[in-house]
């Protein structure tokens, strides 16, 4: 299941985004240059409105860049999108309420019959996220955390090599959120996709990421890139982790004098 077909590197070169505003153009992202290695887990943090979600939408080929170049495995993102190599997960699980849990997870494979054999079976995915006893349940009968587990299983059912996660667990209580992030890490270690994860939670970013990218207020720029070298699972109270968290907080609170590098 895991082989060359799972490779997905990201290359951004001077990528910016400006939206047409009612009165004046809105510069959402200043030029950003970034390289993400295959299988790397990246977290993006920064103030609200700094362009984190916009950056994910650019990479997903949902909107065009104003300037610069985006390459996914040395090809335009349109190719990865059309080949269904990108999985998207956001705060809203966006499940079909008239479909059972199993049918929601089956949906990507029904819509995209590519026959690659790379995607796990839906029943196996539901077992992996702890929902094997709820395959015939409907989304409306599930808790918010369980609905997000279904959304996670559905994202994996695409067999995608790139996971774009836009604050997927923000609306959940802290305990459920921690449980699900641990679940994501376990699945990431199993499948090793490339992950870009947007969050406002500094501790969550430090716990999850290989690197944390700190962005400035709009127009979004990269202020810092912080490698987190501690082995997983990570204890945020350990001295090394506490130092990473303090550094991230200090960067976010400092005057914005760091330019995109």
* pLDDT tens, residue by residue, 44-101: 999 999 999 999 999 999 999 999 999 999 999 999 998 888 999 988 898 999 999 9
Question: Model confidence over 192-221: pLDDT tens digits?
Answer: 999 999 999 999 999 999 999 999 999 999
Could you give the residue range(s) of every CATH 3.40.50.300 domain in the chain? 4-85+160-253
Evaluate whether 195 touches 40 at the Cβ level (below 8 Å). yes
pLDDT-derived band of residue 257, with 50, 70 and 90 as boundaries? low
Global pTM reads 0.90
pLDDT for 31 beyond 90: yes
Tokens found for residue 62: 């949902």
How would residue 159 be classed by pLDDT, with cut points 50, 70 and 90? Answer: confident
CATH 3.40.50.300 fits domain 4-85+160-253: yes
**Sheet architecture: strand order including 26-36:** 26-36, 10-19, 67-72
Query: Can you give the C-alpha Rg of the chain in angstroms?
Result: 18
Could you tell me which residue, 141 or 179, shows the higher pLDDT? 141
Name the percent of the chain lying above pLDDT 70.
93
């Amino acid at each position: 299941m895991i082989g060359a077909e799972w490779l997905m590197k990201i290359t951004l070169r001077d990528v910016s985004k400006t939206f047409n505003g009612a009165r004046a153009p809105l510069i959402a992202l200043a030029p950003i240059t970034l390289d993400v290695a295959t299988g790397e887990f990246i977290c993006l943090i920064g103030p609200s409105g700094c362009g984190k979600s916009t950056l994910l939408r650019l990479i997903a080929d949902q909107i065009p860049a104003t300037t610069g170049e985006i390459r996914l495995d040395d090809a335009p993102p349109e190719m990865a999108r059309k080949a269904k190599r990108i999985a998207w997960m956001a705060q809203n699980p966006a499940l079909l309420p008239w479909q059972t849990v199993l049918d929601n997870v089956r949906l990507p494979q029904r819509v995209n019959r590519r026959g690659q054999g790379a995607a796990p079976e839906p029943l196996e995915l539901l077992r992996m996220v702890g929902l094997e006893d709820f395959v015939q349940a409907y989304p409306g009968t599930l808790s918010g955390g369980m609905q997000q587990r279904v959304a996670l299983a559905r994202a994996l059912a695409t067999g995608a090599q790139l996971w774009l996660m836009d604050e997927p667990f923000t609306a959940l209580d802290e305990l459920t959120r921690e449980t699900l992030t641990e679940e994501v890490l376990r699945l990431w270690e199993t499948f090793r996709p490339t992950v870009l994860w947007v969050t406002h939670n500094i501790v969550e970013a430090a716990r999850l990421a290989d690197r944390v990218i700190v962005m400035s207020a709009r127009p979004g720029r990269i202020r810092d890139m912080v490698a987190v070298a501690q082995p997983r699972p990570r204890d945020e109270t350990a001295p090394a982790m506490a130092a990473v968290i303090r550094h991230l907080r200090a960067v976010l609170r400092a005057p914005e004098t760091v330019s995109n590098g």
